[in-house]
Amino acid sequence: MSGQSFLNATTSSLTERLAQRLCAPVDAIDRERAALLLIDWLGCALGALRSDLGVSLRGLAVDAEAGRCSALGVGPRRLEDALALNAALGNVLEMDDLHREAILHPGPIVIPTALALAQQRGDDAHALLDAIVRGYEASIRIGRSLGREHYRFWHPTSTAGTFGAAAAAGSLFKLSPDALADALGTAGSSVGGLWQMRHEPVPTKSLHNAEAARRGLIAATLAARGLRGPRRILEGEQGLFAATAGDARPARVNDDDPAWLIHGTSLKPWPACRHAHPCIDAMRAAWSAADSDVRAADAIERIEIKTYEEAIRFCDRPQPSTELEAKFSLQHAAAAVVVLGDPTLSHYLPAARGRADLAALRERVTLLNDPTFNAAFPKHYGASVRILWRNGRSLLRQVDDAWGDPEQPLSVAAVNDKMQRLALWGGVDQATALRLIALAQVLVGGGSLEAFTEELADLRVELGAGVQGSSG
């Protein structure tokens, strides 16, 4: 096709219409949300620095030559190296943000892309936050259009996240709607990320994020230099929908919404797959309501968990053998609340998951696919837990939306506390974490992005004694 614009044509493509939406203005409320999610992502990434996987990932950023972008924990590096490390770190602990309907985690791809490019270009705070808002928008709109069939085989954080990285970078490049449509097309033509890695003890999921960020950034960079991209990459006869999404919902790409979709993201209070969070919350509610004379694991005959199909498909692991498997185990999620209390990162390490009483209780957990929860998914992630005791008593609790969802959001204080706890786990002292939180918060009012990134560049985390486990 010729290089002329198709944006005003009646046959404009989905990505062309999306590009127009992405160029809408961002206001202070949207930037405030972006800054909060920046803090949340930073805690998740810093917390992974001393994990086994985090230590390996730091090998991605060994070359300090001519670098000016902050690679977490190791200092200034080239943009490509900083982006690869920062994007891979964000989901290692399984505490990254989520959009339910899109079934993906926007932050670990969008935020590192925007941060590295803004630092490389010398952009200001508002440019960074606006890029984050627009990157989330593209990821979520395309993710929610892909449908559940896509989710069976493809990792939507990787596929749709590539578009999000392109949108974030395109915002910083100040691409026109026409050029942004090209960036989205080029990004979409290179998407990848198969779920097979979740069936094997490998860290590939984190590498999906790094690769998606890289592809999106390249696509936007090429568009900024005038390179065209396939405009019908979504709905075309050999496009993403035809190839990977038999139940795609194309209208969801450009449905009207009252606000930027970054406001609809969920944040995780617990270090586990999001599919496990409704079960965790229901179990916490049931266990706290139990009478004191039956509050012991050996008093329980069995635990019945009802939830939606995808939660069972992803998280049916009665005896997880690794940290990552434990984070994707509904049986461990329920049993650990009884034996260990509210979930913490240590509950997934070998000493905890190998306890005999915990292993025995996991075997007495039954999973049931519930049609009501299944019908509500993916707009709502729900579960019920019924504890049945050996003395004949039983107790039922149900959760339709988990703590951290928009219906029950984490407070700013809770997000800041989460960031500090995770940073400490990763080897970052509390004073540094507090400075980073304060510097991120003032970005909303136009505070110095340079001061924030300099604090990141100065941050060092020593390895050696005290290295934590890895979700890989």
How far is the C-alpha of 273 from the C-alpha of 383, rounded, in Å? Answer: 14
How far is the C-alpha of 140 from the C-alpha of 155, rounded, in Å? Answer: 13
Q: Are 64 and 92 in contact (CB under 8 A)?
A: no
> What is the enclosing helix (H) or strand (E) of 368?
strand 365-369
Domain 274-399 has CATH 1.10.10.60: no
| Maximum distance among all Cα pairs of the chain, rounded to whole angstroms | 76
Q: In the chain, what are the domain boundaries?
A: 14-264, 274-399
**SS3 label, residue 103:** coil
**The token pair that represents 90 in the structure block:** 């964000």
Query: Quick one: CA dihedral 115, 118, 121, 122, positive or negative?
Result: negative
User: How big is the chain, counted in residues?
Assistant: 472
Angle at 383 (CA atoms; ends 382, 384), nearest 5 degrees: 140
Q: Where does 290-376 have alpha helices with state H?
A: 309-315, 323-327, 330-340, 350-353, 356-362, 371-376
pLDDT tens, the chain, 472 aa long: 334 444 444 589 999 999 999 999 999 999 999 999 999 999 999 999 998 888 888 877 766 666 889 999 999 999 999 999 999 999 999 999 999 999 999 999 999 999 999 999 999 999 999 999 999 999 999 999 999 999 999 999 999 999 999 999 999 999 999 999 999 999 999 999 999 998 888 889 999 999 999 999 999 999 999 999 999 999 999 999 999 999 999 999 999 999 999 999 999 999 999 999 999 999 999 999 999 999 999 999 999 999 999 999 999 999 999 999 999 999 999 999 999 999 999 999 999 999 999 999 999 999 999 999 999 999 999 999 999 999 999 999 999 999 999 999 999 999 999 999 999 999 999 999 999 999 999 999 999 999 999 999 999 887 654 445 544 3
Cα 183 to chain centroid distance, Å, stands at 22
- Cα–Cα distances (Å) from 468 to 96, 108, 353, 425, in that order, read 18, 20, 15, 8
Q: Where does 225-355 have alpha helices with state H?
A: 240-244, 277-289, 309-315, 323-327, 330-340, 350-353
Q: Where does 146-253 have alpha helices with state H?
A: 147-153, 156-172, 177-188, 204-224, 240-244
The closest alpha carbon to 158, from 241, 221, 216, belongs to 216
Give pTM, 2 decimals.
Answer: 0.94
The closest alpha carbon to 142, from 101, 178, 192, belongs to 101
Q: Where does 189-319 have alpha helices with state H?
A: 204-224, 240-244, 277-289, 309-315
CATH class of 14-264: mainly alpha
Query: Tokens 């909303």 belong to which residue?
Result: 444
**SS3 label, residue 70:** strand
